Amino acid sequence: MSEKVGQHLLAQREAILDRLQSLLRLPSVSTDPAYAAGMAAAREFLMERLRALGLQDVQLLEGGGQPAIYASWTGAPGRPTIIVYGHYDVQPPDPLELWLSPPFEPAIRDGRLYARGASDVKGSTLIAVETVGAFLAVEGGCPVNVKFFLEGEEEVGSPSLPAIIEKYRDLLTADAMLSADGGRGSTTTPTVSIGCRGITALQFSLRTAAKDAHSGRVGGAVRNALHEMAKLIASMHDEQGRILVEGFLDGALDVTQDIRAESAALPFDEAAWYAALGAAPFGDPDYSVRERTTVRPTVEVNGMWGGYTGAGGKTVLPCEAHAKLTMRLVPGQDPAAAQAAVRRHLEARCPAGVALEFHYRPGGTRAFTLGPQHPLLLAAERVTEWVHGQRPVRVRAGGTVPITTLFQESLGIDSLMFGLAMPDEDAHAPNEFFRLSSLEEGLRSWPLLLTELGQLSPADFPKRG
Amino acid sequence: MSEKVGQHLLAQREAILDRLQSLLRLPSVSTDPAYAAGMAAAREFLMERLRALGLQDVQLLEGGGQPAIYASWTGAPGRPTIIVYGHYDVQPPDPLELWLSPPFEPAIRDGRLYARGASDVKGSTLIAVETVGAFLAVEGGCPVNVKFFLEGEEEVGSPSLPAIIEKYRDLLTADAMLSADGGRGSTTTPTVSIGCRGITALQFSLRTAAKDAHSGRVGGAVRNALHEMAKLIASMHDEQGRILVEGFLDGALDVTQDIRAESAALPFDEAAWYAALGAAPFGDPDYSVRERTTVRPTVEVNGMWGGYTGAGGKTVLPCEAHAKLTMRLVPGQDPAAAQAAVRRHLEARCPAGVALEFHYRPGGTRAFTLGPQHPLLLAAERVTEWVHGQRPVRVRAGGTVPITTLFQESLGIDSLMFGLAMPDEDAHAPNEFFRLSSLEEGLRSWPLLLTELGQLSPADFPKRG
């Protein structure tokens, strides 16, 4: 009976808010060793809370870096087993001088809780933890079996995550994953997240001569590495930004009428969006801006450099140039194949006498999508409609959430992002905040969602891999 | 009677070599304030030597930076007045660890004098000084009036030179300039220098949005500054390196049959040249490599950068990109017009919504050429033929020697580069050296050249401006 659980949670709202503020006071910055004590304190805080709430097998999962926190409650035989994902690490607080109140001293102003990590993602993580605890306190059990997996390296690219998953594979068997990270796509319209783009990366260098030369002495008779780099990069898109890399789109999702309708369902003010970025409208005119940024792939140069870049001038004819690329992928694209297509494109256009060298990690992350009838999705839609009195819009994210693909590929399970954060809450920036209204919505939504999932049997969840 | 003067100089060869080594021990690095004492010591050494040789009016010409050294002998009324140019500053010696003997401890190995500044240009400067001194000692006078102008900022781009020339304009009246810097175009074939390319520079930035954005969130719908930069740079040349900038070539020298023949007269092994650079053959197939690098203009990107260039990756969609360009100019091209043509080309191809910003100093340096019947040139050819027993080849340099143009435009006089350095002597690099045979050739050539010029009257020299 999630109703009693929800009432219990809402009655405890102030205590939970106090607890969240305590957690936010612990500076758990994963990227900087100077914050090791803050990381340890956040781990202890959460493990202590999980134990106090009656979770079992509370332990650290070690993978060589910051450990993940594990805790389980498996007292619902025959019911689905759900991994509940969150992370206890946060981004660095710099630049400190732009914060209106100190980043690790939570402050409430105008219904918003300001602190580093409030939105990303201690708020939503604690909502998930408290929800499971409330079921145990009120009902003596949870509608589903729960395995908490609270990562400590999300903000640094999850370097140990594959090793942790590999090492604790048996512990992590489950029917699905619910993530407290990621989720809401709009501040005004209720949404459910049905997927995100994948990613693959490529770095390359090109060389036109054994060493830099004097532009007066050889200029006109030796290839300039920067000119060659410019020609290669320019060859990858047409004037309207369409990708010209042969084979790159192989297998890519067709943007059907259904997908168009789905994409158009979220109210989106293109003019306001461009105005906020200070940019002019751009991109493949066959697709809307929402489509371009979610269901169409990209090839982007993230960095490009060569020659003399200091103050003043230097009459050098550079022999080396470098570029870093990332490609966002849509469902159906294979990261290795997409990467190989870009490489082939560059190799085919590289003139004789110019040496190309590629530096890349093989593969990448496939796009992730929940099927339109996936039980996680249908349950999330029902719950969101109850809570908001309005049917949510299905949205895809343009970015990449590697954990969704990693859990799918490693553990064979699908994920639903059901975090409460909103896209305007300055995650990763000064004055990060979390809406107090979101705390309340989370304490209403999560019990409902666990209850809905408890109506299902493990066989209802598609298994992959 | 230059013969007696030449004999006197050759008899004193060892003393002059000792004196050159003393000068080379003085670390006169103009770019680094830590070498201020070395600069002052080199100035004192040369001023003392000029006084000892009987030059008059020895003084420093101040222009705000490192002063130039001036000294004159004007005891030949009715004869031409020649400014003798050299410089006493040198390049920094770094990287020190690559020197086989310390850069400021001259060492002789295999007929070569190794030291920073030996080739560029203390060796040739001292030859000029000693030659004039020998005339005064042996003959009691010089065949021409001489005004030494020994610069102290040549290696840092001569920032004070225009101010010095402007301030001491009356002191610097002359019929021609003879430079101890620059000159020999080959280690095997005698050459005389008849000109060099000019230069103009341009730096620009482009902006596609108000700030960098997340490549997942906006990728596909916002212009990437690096893609735009690549398209602009790629638009300036065709696949064979021909310049596509409309108006850039306006006024440029026609490469006539005469110029072709002149360029072809210097033996030049294209395959060996490319092999030494570690580069593949490239450039406008309508011209030889020598022509491409001397009588055809260039547009070169010296540096280009934007986005994330550190280790690893960053999924940024960069809003800013930057490029530094220099253009080598041939006779007939106006630097300001060439610069404006490049700017117009970029502006015309810059899409709406992309902001271009240019940073440049107006103007630049025109190409310099001595007319085919110029008395400086004819005299240098006669002298070189006597010394080498072989008629020299007329060569143009691909680089730029701003002083030639500056003296022409400011003082209305033409210049001849008559230095003894050879192009393989690692000027600006570790283990710079000067051939002892060049010292001897210089001590034979310079007296002959001054004697030849003494046969002329001031009216024989064309005046400009």
Average pLDDT over residues A423-443: 93
Average pLDDT over residues A39-55: 98
Band (A401; pLDDT cuts 50, 70, 90)? confident
Q: Are B85 and B177 in contact (CB under 8 A)?
A: yes
Q: What's the CA gap between A170 and A97, in Å, rounded?
A: 46
Band (A135; pLDDT cuts 50, 70, 90)? very high
pLDDT for position B31:
87
For residue A352, what are the contacts with CB-CB under 8 A and spacing of at least 6?
Answer: B280
Average pLDDT over residues A256-282: 94
C-alpha dihedral sign at A409, A411, A415, A421: negative
Mutate to test the interface with A, among B304, B309, B358, B428 (most CBs of A within 10 A): B304
Q: Are A237 and A325 in contact (CB under 8 A)?
A: no
Q: What is the residue whose two structure tokens read 């003082």?
A: B411
CA angle B229, A303, A252 (to 5 degrees): 90
The widest CA-to-CA distance across chain A, in whole angstroms, is 84
Average pLDDT over residues A28-50: 96
Q: Which residue of A has its CA nearest to B231?
A: A234
CB contact A296 to B (< 8 Å) = yes
Q: What is the residue whose two structure tokens read 């015309």?
A: B348
pLDDT for position B47:
98
Which of A242-246, A302-306, B96-100, B239-243 has the weakest average pLDDT?
B96-100
Q: What's the CA gap between A380 and A193, in Å, rounded?
A: 9
Angle between helices A123-139 and A436-454 (to 10 degrees): 50
CB atoms within 10 A of CB B292: 24
Q: Which residues of B touch A238 (CB under 8 A)?
A: none
Spell out, as residue ranges, where chain B has pLDDT lower than 50.
Answer: none
C-alpha dihedral sign at B100, B106, B110, B111: positive
Q: Give A 274-293 residues with CB within 8 A of chain B.
A: 274, 277-284, 289, 292-293
Q: What's the CA gap between A235 and A237, in Å, rounded?
A: 6
Instruction: Check B318 against A326: CB less than 8 A apart.
Output: no
Band (A449; pLDDT cuts 50, 70, 90)? very high
Summarize pLDDT for A315-358 with one digit per residue, the tens: 889 999 999 999 999 999 999 999 999 999 999 999 999 999 99
The β-bridge relationship of strands A176-179 and A414-417 is: parallel
Instruction: Check A219 against B298: CB less than 8 A apart.
Output: yes
pLDDT for position B167:
96
Could you give the domains of chain B? Answer: 2-196+368-460 (3.40.630.10), 198-266+286-359 (3.30.70.360)
Q: Average pLDDT of chain A? A: 94
pLDDT for position A424:
86
Mutate to test the interface with B, among A255, A301, A328, A345 (most CBs of B within 10 A): A301
Summarize pLDDT for B6-18 with one digit per residue, the tens: 999 999 999 999 9
Identify the CA nearest to A104 among candidates A39, A183, A31.
A39
Smallest CA–CA distance, residue A10 to chain B, in Å, is 34
Q: What's the CA gap between A183 and A191, in Å, rounded?
A: 8
pLDDT for position A286:
96
Question: Does residue A183 register a pLDDT over 90?
Answer: no
Q: What is the residue whose two structure tokens read 């001595």?
A: B370
Q: Which residues of A touch B352 (CB under 8 A)?
A: 280
Smallest CA–CA distance, residue A6 to chain B, in Å, is 34
* DSSP 8-class letter at A424: T
Q: What's the CA gap between B386 and B383, in Å, rounded?
A: 5
Instruction: Check B308 against A324: CB less than 8 A apart.
Output: yes
CB contact B227 to A (< 8 Å) = yes
* Residue B198 dihedral angles phi and psi, to the nearest 5°: -90, -175
For residue A438, what are the contacts with CB-CB under 8 A and spacing of at least 6?
Answer: A123, A420, A421, A422
Q: What is the residue whose two structure tokens read 């290669």?
A: A232
Average pLDDT over residues A257-261: 95
pLDDT for position B155:
86
pLDDT for position A215:
86
Mutate to test the interface with B, among A208, A286, A315 (most CBs of B within 10 A): A315
* Residue B7 dihedral angles phi and psi, to the nearest 5°: -60, -45
Instruction: Check A305 against B305: CB less than 8 A apart.
Output: yes
pLDDT for position A2:
67
Q: Are A175 and A83 in contact (CB under 8 A)?
A: no
CB contact A223 to B (< 8 Å) = yes
pLDDT for position A428:
82
What is the edge-to-edge ordering of all strands in the sheet holding A355-359? A355-359, A198-207, A320-329, A298-307, B298-307, B320-329, B198-207, B355-359
Q: Which residues of B touch A236 (CB under 8 A)?
A: 227
Identify the CA nearest to A365 among candidates A327, A394, A391.
A327
Instruction: Check B296 against A220: CB less than 8 A apart.
Output: yes
ipTM: 0.89
